[in-house]
Structures are given as structure tokens and as C-alpha cells.
Amino acid sequence: MTNNLRWYIIFIVFCLIIVDYIDRGLITVILPVIKGEFHINSFEEGIIGDGFTFGYLIMNPIVGYFLDKYGPKKTFSRFAVFWGLVQAINVLAFSAFYFIVTRILLGITEAVGFPGVTKIVANWLRKDEKARGGTISDSGVNLGIVFGSLFMLGMFSIFPTELAWRLGFLISGFLAIVLGLVLGHLLFDLPEEHPKISKEELNYILSNRDNPSKGKRLPLGKWFKNKNYWGYMQGLGAQAGIFFGLFTWLPLYLYYARHFSLSFTLTYTALIWSFGFIGEIVGGFIVDKLVKLNPNLGFKVGFAVSSLAVTLGLAAAIFVSSPIEAVEILMATFFFLRWSGIQWAAPSYLVSPELAGQFGGHIGFWETLWGIIIPILFGATVEVTHAYFLGMEILVGIGLIYFIGTVVVTNYKLIEVERE
């Protein structure tokens, strides 16, 4: 018996998100190696890099419906096992086309991640714990990026290059399979269904939680009629545009625009993302305290701090002349950017629990769409101007959209949707 079963579940989800981002980022680390081995041209390189997002974009709204209809126990755990298998079979890769197919399949299977976080947070945590639960789970993103780079650096230092990347795929895929099986064993759809939860913990959860139930799919038109839906989705989409823009271009910005060596570029990239991890945990605890007083105020303050700090931080990083000062500013910027992890707690206040999975799927769709467009736009500015200034300025402008959507337009109260 334990009074912390819900947090053990959140910890397993946190570990799965870490592996999720190791799996996503592994291909970008090894592309310079396999490019020559498989004679991959620039066009194929771009398709391999973007293939994940195509599968992810298509599957997000669908997997959200699966989570609501079949529950997170079956849906999340089985999809996690499937994505581990997809990742692991890259050990047998023999061509660019093979990587394109497996990257699309990985996007389809990993689409369960953040809608799954939304559903589990809605079902298992009290209202005054949701921001912490959401940010703890989401903070695995930061560690996944850091650990993925360090993991492959270690593999390349131990094994021959042609073996190291294959073993990297196999090991990370195996980890996803194991964690998926563990989650399937430990998680039940609702705490009241779990045979090993203590009465004390169950009563504590139920004393401050909405009562979820299995839901039916809600047609898109029902969502599209609501102002809060559009404010939240486009605000978070803008946030994701900044995130994926920096995920793609930050190392190149440090290397080419700030003239760091490769070793310092990797070191500072890991350090900047580490500050994002710390900020996300801190932000979750702070917003939880504010939400106890007033949910609408709590989420608005959290998103306002995140969006305005990112906007001002990126603007400052552009104009400082010292490379070290730019890194220090980016460390602070990422600290507040990753407060955005509260996005996985806010749906508990915006939609009823039986719609939480679908709503999380919508978040994933819009964030992925922005996450595809913004890095491409950033790259186009670099290609045209041969500099990074304009791309960074665009991210500053997108920071304002993040603020307007999540703070000005959205009110954190239940979206009233007419059910069929």
C-alpha cells in the first residue's frame, strides 16, 4: 500500500517522455554519419528529418479519441511498445527509404505521448496538483534532448561508428518497450479502479477532482465555434513554433552566429536545455499554488511570465555582442519558455475529463503544424540572408502571438460544447 501511487505513475510517464525525445532526436545526431553510408542526398535528408512530424500531425487527433474511448492504460502503454519496436528495427536499416518509412511510423506511434499526459493528469491528479503533474511529465522533453546527445556521444566513443548508431536505435527502442510494459502494468484508467491504491490516497484524490467518464468523439465543428479553443490552440502553437525553431536551429546559431567550437556548442546547448528542465519544474509548483487561489489567474500568470520572458529574452539575445552573455540570456529564456509545460494541466479546466484526450490530441496537432512551419521559415531566412538575425526576430514576433493566445484571448474556464 502507498499514498504516492499517482506520483509513481507520473514518474513512469516522465521517463517515457525522456525516451520519446531521445528517440526523436537520435536521427538528427546520426544524420551526418549515415548520410555518407547510405548516399543520402539533401532532399532525402529533409524528408527523413520531417518524416516524424508528418506521422505525428496526422495521428494526434485520432490518438486523443482512442485515449478517451479506450482509456490511457491500453492506449498509452500499447502505443509506447509499438514506438519502441519501430525505433528498434532501425538496427536493420539499409537505405534512405527505410528511414523515411520508420520515421513516419515513429511519428504515428509517438503521437500518444502528450495527449496521454493530458488524460492521465485529468484522471489521476487533484486540481491543485495538475500543473506539477503536467510540467514534471513534460520536463522529460528537456532531459531527453540532453541525454540523447550525450548518449550517442558515448556510443560513438565506445563502438565503431557503423555499429554505434545501430546499437543506439536498438537500446533506446528497448527502453521504450520496457517502460510501456511497466506503464501498462502499473496504470489503471482511473484511480478508483486500481486494486492497490490505498483508501487514504483515493479519498485524497477524489476530494478535489472532477469525475471523469468514457467519452464519445466530438466533431471538429463543435470545437471550432469556441473562442477559448482558438486562443489556446494558436497560443500554444506559437509556443511550439519557438520550441521547435530553437530545437532545430539553436546549435547552428551558437556554432555559426556566435562562433563557438563544436565542443562548446554541444556543451552550451545541453546547459541551455538543462535550465529549461529546472524552469519547468519550478513553474509547475508556482502555478499550482496560484491555481489554488484562482485557476484563471494562475494559468494566465504562468503563461504571461513564460511568453513575455521568452519574447524579451530572445530580443535581448539578438542584440548583445558577447557570445557568453547571449548564452546566459538563452539559459534564462529557456528557464521561462519551459513553464509552458502547464499546458498539459490547463485542459482539466478547459474541458470535461471525458474530452481530455481529444483536447490533448488537438493541442498536439496545432503544435506540430506550427512546429513544421516555423523551422522551415527560419531556415529560409538563413538561406536568403546568410545570417540568423531575421530568423531570431521572427521568433520574437511569434512570442507575442504566444502571449496573446494564451493570456489575452483564453479564459481558463470550461468550454461549453454541445454534445450529440
* Residue in this structure with the C-alpha cell 516555423, named with its chain if needed: 374
Is 368 part of a structural domain of the chain?
A: yes
Is 402 part of a structural domain of the chain?
A: yes
CB atoms within 10 A of CB 323: 15
Structural domain for 329, as ranges: 5-191+215-409
**pTM tops 0.95:** no
- Cβ-Cβ contacts under 8 Å for 201 (sequence gap 6 or more): 2, 3, 4, 5, 6, 191
Query: Looking at beta carbons, which pairs linking 161-166 to residues 24 or more positions away fall under 8 Å?
Result: 161/33, 162/37, 165/26, 165/30, 165/33, 165/34, 166/90, 166/91, 166/93
Is 208 part of a structural domain of the chain?
A: no
CA distance 330 to 256: 16
Per-residue pLDDT tens listing for the chain (420 residues)? 457 899 999 999 999 999 998 888 788 777 777 878 888 876 777 678 777 888 888 898 889 889 988 999 999 999 999 999 999 999 999 898 999 999 999 999 999 998 899 899 889 999 889 888 888 888 888 888 888 878 887 888 899 988 999 999 999 999 999 999 999 999 999 999 999 999 999 999 999 886 665 556 667 677 888 899 999 999 999 999 999 888 878 887 888 899 988 678 878 888 898 999 899 999 989 998 999 899 999 999 999 999 999 999 999 999 999 999 999 999 999 999 999 989 888 888 888 877 888 888 899 899 989 988 998 898 889 888 988 899 999 999 999 999 999 999 999 988 776 554
Is 358 part of a structural domain of the chain?
A: yes
Return the pLDDT at 137.
86
Return the pLDDT at 236.
95
Residue type, 303: F
Return the pLDDT at 346.
87
Return the pLDDT at 317.
95
Residue 28: give its domain's CATH number. Answer: 1.20.1250.20
How many separate domains does the chain show? Answer: 1
Cell digits for 147?
541525454
Q: What is the DSSP string of 252-305?
A: HIIIIIS---HHHHHHHHHHHHHHHHHHHHHHHHHHHHHHHH-HHHHHHHHHHH
Helices and strands, counts by H and E, the chain = 17, 0
How buried is residue 224: exposed, middle or buried, by Cβ count under 10 Å (0-12/13-18/19+)?
exposed
Is 224 part of a structural domain of the chain?
A: yes
CA distance 394 to 377: 9
**Runs of H (alpha helix) within 187-226:** 199-206, 220-224
Is 302 part of a structural domain of the chain?
A: yes
Cell digits for 126?
487533484
The number of residues making up the chain comes to 420
Is 417 part of a structural domain of the chain?
A: no
